[in-house]
Structure 1
Amino acid sequence: MTIQRKHTMYHSTIVDADPDTVWAVVRDALKVVAIVSGDAVKDVCWAEGGAVERVPSRYDFTLVFNDGLVQQEVAGRNEVERSQTYRAVAPATGVDGYVATIRVRPITNDPGRSFFEWSRELTIADDADTEVVETIIAMMAKQADSIRDYFAQK
Structure 2
Amino acid sequence: MASTSVSRVVPASPHEVWTLIGGFDALPDWLPYIPKSTALEGGRVRRLTNPDGDVITERLVGFNEAERHYSYAIIEAPFPVDGYVSTLRVHTVPGHDDIAEVQWSGRFDPKGATEQEVVDLFTGIYADGLDALHRTLAT
Q: TM-score, normalised to structure 1's length?
A: 0.74
1:49 aligns with 2:42: yes
- Count of aligned positions: 137
Matched residue type, 1:151? L
Paired with 1:64 and 1:7, the residues of 2 have a C-alpha distance of: 27
Structure 1, residues 13-40: CA drift from partner, whole Å, max 9, x if none? 111111111111111122225522x1x4
- How far off its partner does 1:101 sit? 0.9
The answer for the alignment partner of 1:63 in structure 2 is: 50
CA RMSD of aligned residues (A): 2.7
SS at structure 2 position matched to 1:29: coil
The answer for the alignment partner of 1:30 in structure 2 is: 25
Paired with 2:132 and 2:70, the residues of 1 have a C-alpha distance of: 18
Paired with 2:27 and 2:34, the residues of 1 have a C-alpha distance of: 12
Q: Which structure's residues are more often strand, by fraction? A: 2
1:19 aligns with 2:14: yes
SS at structure 2 position matched to 1:145: helix
The counterpart of 1:7, out of the listed 2, 8, 32, is 2
Matched residue type, 2:25? L
The answer for the alignment partner of 1:72 in structure 2 is: 58
Structure 1, residues 52-75: CA drift from partner, whole Å, max 9, x if none? xxxxx000113333x432110221
Runs (5+) with no aligned partner, structure 2: none
SS at structure 1 position matched to 2:85: strand
> Does the 8 A contact of 1:68 with 1:93 survive in 2?
no
Misfit runs of 4+, over 4 Å: 132-136
Q: TM-score, normalised to structure 2's length?
A: 0.81
> Does the 8 A contact of 1:91 with 1:97 survive in 2?
no
Write out aligned runs for 1:40-119 (5 A): 40-50=33-43, 57-65=44-52, 67-90=53-76, 92-119=78-105
Larger radius of gyration: 1
Q: Rate the CA distance shift 1:44–1:109 in 2: closer, same or farther, 3 A.
A: same
Runs (5+) with no aligned partner, structure 1: 1-5, 51-56
Q: Rate the CA distance shift 1:108–1:88 in 2: closer, same or farther, 3 A.
A: same
